[in-house]
Structure 1
Amino acid sequence: MSSFNRRLLVLSGLGALAACGFAPAYGPGGAGAALMGQVEVDAPDTRAGYLLTREIETRLGRASNPRFALGYEIMLDAQAIAISRSNVTSRFNLLGQVTYALRDIETGAVLTAGDVRNFTGYSTTGSTVAVQAAERDAEARLMTILADQVLTRLLAEAPAAPE
């Protein structure tokens, strides 16, 4: 395919996106503008809660005069997925679920709510310190993934939120 044909294909694809009402989430008038610096995340009480809050505030900014409050509940479960012949677990999956609700602070009305689920894995074949580091790293990766999923859902629902 020639260079000209590829450019034409890309431009026609961009035209189709513009025609369907596509707008960047964080662009002017995008769904992210209604949430940027406007969401107060509940104070964390666990390491996982801190990691989730940090990821969300990194993307949306810390609210100084919030219009919305984001409440969440985190559930984590480690499951053995690889067991040796000598009955020693050598790998775990860390399963996570975040149930969240975005509320209007002024009215207390729930604007959107839902839950997201995902998992990460880690190995237990190293030293005690290495296994603890792998477990903490898996938890941090999982909270990043879950924060991304929560934000994707919030951005998808943001147009319904009052501006």
Structure 2
Amino acid sequence: MWSSDRRKFLVLLAAAPVAACGFSPAMAPGGAAHALWQQVQIDDPVERNGFNYVTRLEERLGRATGPRFRLSWTLRTEAVGAAVTPSGAITRYSLIGRVTYSLTRIEGGQTVASGNLESFTSFDSSGSTLTSVTAERDAYERLAVILADQTTARLMAAAPK
């Protein structure tokens, strides 16, 4: 019983500094990035990777209801052989993704934030055709989510008041 009480005490003790510093979520009302919540019109995707990217951005920023900002973006991906057998067969691929983004005010057209981001993931292609195709599709989706999360973090850091 004493061990259980000690764990509760340690959890409360660990949470005290966070509560004392006035921590609040960035997207919460009054938070540093609340001006972006449901205010960003994201350019439409034209292919699967872009769809995954935009879907994740909308999960994080909310779907625009009365947009004040426009997010333009370009996503490029490249598959590079990462593991090759002695016979020359590629058994693992690295996916490299690059996104260029620009957040502008709809009224006035001023650029609020812009930048270039890059990340990577990989997948194994040594299994059956089905497992290889599934692994590849999953890797592209993971890459789009990673890049969308990085974009969201940058936008939140540069959020207008």
TM-score scaled by structure 1? 0.86
Query: Could you tell me which amino acid in structure 1 is paired with residue 21 of structure 2?
Result: L
Q: Give the equivalent residue in structure 1 for 2:3.
A: none
Distance of 2:137 and 2:147 partners within structure 1: 15
Q: What's the CA shift for 1:131?
A: 1.5
Say what the alpha-carbon RMSD is for the aligned residues.
Answer: 2.0
Q: What's the CA shift for 1:5?
A: 7.5
1:55-111 superposed Cα distances (whole Å, 9 cap, x missing partner): 111222211220000011111111111101111100001011111110000111110
Runs of 4+ off more than 3 Å: 2-9, 15-18
1:92-146 superposed Cα distances (whole Å, 9 cap, x missing partner): 0101111111000011111001122111110111222322221111000111111
Give the gaps of 5 or more residues in structure 2: 1-5
Give the SS at the match of 1:31. Answer: coil
- The answer to whether structure 1 residue 17 and structure 2 residue 18 are counterparts is no
Distance of 1:4 and 1:136 partners within structure 2: 43
Distance of 1:30 and 1:66 partners within structure 2: 18
- The answer to whether structure 1 residue 130 and structure 2 residue 131 are counterparts is yes
Q: Taking structure 1 as reference, are residues 11 and 122 closer, same or farther at Cα in structure 2, changes over 3 Å only?
A: closer
- The answer to whether structure 1 residue 61 and structure 2 residue 62 are counterparts is yes
Q: Give the equivalent residue in structure 2 for 1:151.
A: 152
Number of residue pairs matched by the alignment:
157
Q: Taking structure 1 as reference, are residues 26 and 84 closer, same or farther at Cα in structure 2, changes over 3 Å only?
A: same
Distance of 1:8 and 1:131 partners within structure 2: 46
- Given that residues 36 and 61 in structure 2 are in contact (C-alpha distance below 8 angstroms), is that contact kept between their aligned partners in structure 1? yes
